[in-house]
Structure 1
């Protein structure tokens, strides 16, 4: 019988090499992956190997060709996405779980931290004490799980078990035009249909208009349909706008409709005293989501759903009993970690096999605590506000939407230039290719905006200032004007006070 060819040990040896290479990558002194793509593609783009090359040769290829040609996303100047590079402890905890607890099952320390860290998150983000959580792969699945609970609740109210018997009749989900596209996808996957999502108008700042919601609810009151949920945003992905949660939640309760708050990006903003009053009404929510792989600095692949009644999740998503999984022992009678599977998270969502995500969140919060996360959020929000202040003061810049959280939507302006959208698109593409500052763009009230989102633990105030300097320099070059004076831009005040 052939022996196993895969190396299953010697982690200390290989992690030293890997850690050295990753630390060099994190200096961000290397060229972009597209600088000489033929070099690494020649090594990586090969046929399926009939015979392996062994772990040492694989490590050689990883350190020479794979890691140095990785993503620009961890770069502190990359502000394009609402995900970022993991912090050190988040990456280490992920690796620890991959080796020591590859599933979130059984009565071990990793399984214990699933629930412990969810309770910490709920307390940190000021959720109602009764709310219980579940980890999933990110905000899209977190929204799906939350709306699955809403669907279960809504149809049970009219005497139907949708998880068992299917959806019957028309349904309605109410969400603003600024809601994340995962809301429509969740409606499709849950059998409600994308057309079940009714779009509610927003104001000039991208916030749902409660009066428009109420008018729609009144129109639908006597229709033969099941109202499933009202979805509000606690920080939109486009601009960081926070819907008026108090007014929307009050309406949802008055009409006896599930109230869901999508806080995948923006919910941690509640820790910033400058904006925390905007979260009034969060206590009315029946479900809330947040992504630790955004502001908390976890590796991508961790979202969290919180609901008032986790039994609804079990009724909505249970896979029912499997003959090969014994559940007879309780935690009180167990004498071995495999005497029980622990809390049945696999019955609360769509994943059966899932990593131990709770240990990652636990490690992140143990490292910096609530105070460290609050300081990070305040720093990033202040950066967006200060960028807006500098843009207000400069004749060649324009703020298209006032920052609420850590997103600032602004653009370069020149009265003589015929197409400002095209100009700013050109500036943005030049920024990306220069590689020092990589924001995204969005459209605000019909106008193209340059959109940095300050989020990563490595991102500090100098990135905001340098981004503006580069936008001004590029704008001046593309409009044939003189290079702007960026030396008198002032300094950012101490944002930790």
Structure 2
């Protein structure tokens, strides 16, 4: 069994087996002609349930054959230009190379004596991102598992900085279309059920600052403690960007921590054309970025950044076996001093490899392409009488619904759109997402693939309209 350990004696075996695995995946990617096979849970489950994990195959080729049957054949492939659903991007090759390196070396980024140069590379990337945001010379941060963890840590810091005697008095203000992790974080942080105050949005799905000012004033007069305002730099459903400058002014006026959830919109930090859309982010106290959304990185690669490095002390605990206090005095950098996690992958290496090969402008160029594509898609939808489109995109998301001319019942239109989405997924021809707007079912394109074209968008819209019409036709037949 020692022959399976990666070390000096097995390096050649490692090279051979990993190459075999890479060749299988490369062949699969090269021949994938649609984003999904349409396999159902009921069809796939028996294949996996039938595998006896206590009876190994003892042969890598056989295991790869089995993996083809239970995973690779039916995986959802984000690189395909007609995968248009969630905030999943195709990944750049330098980052995949970084993934291979970090997995093999297997550094743990909690302490210096487990990572050495990895610690310094992560810190360099944090400094680079803080500079791109404009947080100032005292800024710092740490890599996380994703936007949910980043938002949780930012709100933990805000809670501690608020210095409230009673957590039930604390209030967080976020728009009605902010990420669900804001409410989830409030619960995890022990705040009351009324802790999150939902602020209405305007027709472009941006937080209404007049309403925010009104709620902040009400909070102050009611003896409550405004803990944080969460401004969104790219909402999940609409890609909308809250008015960051105005929100920053209100946060300064009321002495409230400003957090910007830019998990999606962080791609604008590298944009060559649209960086101004996120102006005001530099005034935040904390920022969430997800490189695995708009920097074309493999999952996971995220970070939380703060204006004042001293606030990260709220996540610091010292253990004699890991990061004793004396290490601070000896100026030994331990990233666990800043993190909610202990053991942590060297995910920063993927971004490092990407920047060293492509440069920030290369990333920004790709993100600009998908923003341009969304603008073209919006014009197509706005001109097509078969569809109702919600907002003009600020990033790369389009929310719309099919509105068949012969149908006036909103509930029936809902059912037609739900059916169209399910039928499209079952066919495997394309994958789109769904959401609700004003209680009604809508469909969603999240465009994060520069290889997607307007022809792809047009083809998928035709498929959606066709499935909706088929449902309505079948519905009429059933009624008669």
Q: For residues 253 and 99 of structure 1, what CA distance do their matches in structure 2 show?
A: 47
Note the aligned Cα RMSD (angstroms).
Answer: 2.8
Q: For residues 79 and 14 of structure 1, what CA distance do their matches in structure 2 show?
A: 33
Number of the residue aligned with 1:394: 384
Q: Cα distance, 1:301 vs. partner?
A: 1.9
Q: For residues 404 and 319 of structure 2, what CA distance do their matches in structure 1 show?
A: 66
Q: Cα distance, 1:16 vs. partner?
A: 1.4
Describe how 1:52-67 pairs up with structure 2 within 5 A: 53=58, 55=60, 57-63=62-68, 65-67=70-72
Number of the residue aligned with 1:26: 29
- Cα separation, partners in 2 of 1:99 and 1:255, compared to 1, 3 Å: same
Number of the residue aligned with 2:107: 102
The answer (yes or no) to whether the contact 1:200–1:208 under 8 Å persists in 2 is yes
Which of 51, 58, 80 pairs up with 2:85?
Answer: 80
**1:118 equivalent in alignment to 2:100:** no
- Cα separation, partners in 2 of 1:41 and 1:95, compared to 1, 3 Å: farther
Describe how 1:131-280 pairs up with structure 2 within 5 A: 131-155=139-163, 168=167, 170-272=169-271, 275-280=274-279
Number of the residue aligned with 1:164: none
Q: Cα distance, 1:169 vs. partner?
A: 5.2
Q: For residues 209 and 41 of structure 2, what CA distance do their matches in structure 1 show?
A: 53
Q: Cα distance, 1:64 vs. partner?
A: 5.0
Number of the residue aligned with 1:486: none
Q: Cα distance, 1:69 vs. partner?
A: 3.0
Q: For residues 241 and 119 of structure 1, what CA distance do their matches in structure 2 show?
A: 27
Q: Which deviates more, 343-352 or 67-76?
A: 67-76
Q: Cα distance, 1:63 vs. partner?
A: 4.5
Q: Cα distance, 1:260 vs. partner?
A: 0.6
Q: For residues 480 and 169 of structure 1, what CA distance do their matches in structure 2 show?
A: 54
The answer (yes or no) to whether the contact 1:398–1:413 under 8 Å persists in 2 is yes
Q: Which deviates more, 318-327 or 412-421?
A: 318-327
Number of the residue aligned with 1:430: 423
The answer (yes or no) to whether the contact 1:235–1:265 under 8 Å persists in 2 is yes
Q: For residues 323 and 458 of structure 1, what CA distance do their matches in structure 2 show?
A: 49
Q: Cα distance, 1:293 vs. partner?
A: 0.9
**1:91 equivalent in alignment to 2:92:** no
The answer (yes or no) to whether the contact 2:272–2:361 under 8 Å persists in 1 is no
Q: For residues 76 and 310 of structure 2, what CA distance do their matches in structure 1 show?
A: 40
Q: Cα distance, 1:93 vs. partner?
A: 0.9
Structure 2 alignment gaps of length 5 or more: 475-480
1:181-231: CA deviation from partner (whole Å, max 9, x where unpaired): 101111111222342111111122221111111111111113333221011
The answer (yes or no) to whether the contact 2:274–2:368 under 8 Å persists in 1 is no
Describe how 1:411-426 pairs up with structure 2 within 5 A: 411-417=401-407, 418=409, 419-426=412-419
**1:311 equivalent in alignment to 2:299:** no
1:239-286: CA deviation from partner (whole Å, max 9, x where unpaired): 111111111110011000101111111122355466443323222211
Other structure's SS at 1:69 match: coil
Structure 1 alignment gaps of length 5 or more: 161-166, 334-339, 482-497
Number of the residue aligned with 2:365: 375
Q: For residues 41 and 225 of structure 2, what CA distance do their matches in structure 1 show?
A: 56
- Cα separation, partners in 2 of 1:328 and 1:216, compared to 1, 3 Å: closer
Other structure's SS at 2:83 match: coil
Number of the residue aligned with 1:470: 463
The answer (yes or no) to whether the contact 2:296–2:363 under 8 Å persists in 1 is no
Q: For residues 102 and 141 of structure 1, what CA distance do their matches in structure 2 show?
A: 21
Q: For residues 292 and 153 of structure 1, what CA distance do their matches in structure 2 show?
A: 27
Q: Cα distance, 1:367 vs. partner?
A: 2.6
Other structure's SS at 2:172 match: strand
Number of the residue aligned with 2:477: none
Q: Cα distance, 1:302 vs. partner?
A: 1.9
Q: For residues 114 and 362 of structure 1, what CA distance do their matches in structure 2 show?
A: 8
Q: For residues 26 and 256 of structure 2, what CA distance do their matches in structure 1 show?
A: 50
Other structure's SS at 2:395 match: coil
- Cα separation, partners in 2 of 1:255 and 1:38, compared to 1, 3 Å: closer
**1:299 equivalent in alignment to 2:298:** yes
The answer (yes or no) to whether the contact 1:208–1:244 under 8 Å persists in 2 is yes
1:382-438: CA deviation from partner (whole Å, max 9, x where unpaired): 111111111222222222222121001122222311322222222222221222221
> Normalized per residue, which structure has more helix?
2
Number of the residue aligned with 1:46: 51
Q: For residues 211 and 41 of structure 2, what CA distance do their matches in structure 1 show?
A: 53
Give the alignment's TM-score, normalised by structure 1. 0.84
- Cα separation, partners in 2 of 1:256 and 1:73, compared to 1, 3 Å: same
* Number of equivalent positions: 461
- Cα separation, partners in 2 of 1:62 and 1:222, compared to 1, 3 Å: same
Other structure's SS at 2:127 match: helix
Number of the residue aligned with 1:13: 16
Q: For residues 329 and 213 of structure 1, what CA distance do their matches in structure 2 show?
A: 44
Which of 336, 346, 352 pairs up with 2:336?
Answer: 346
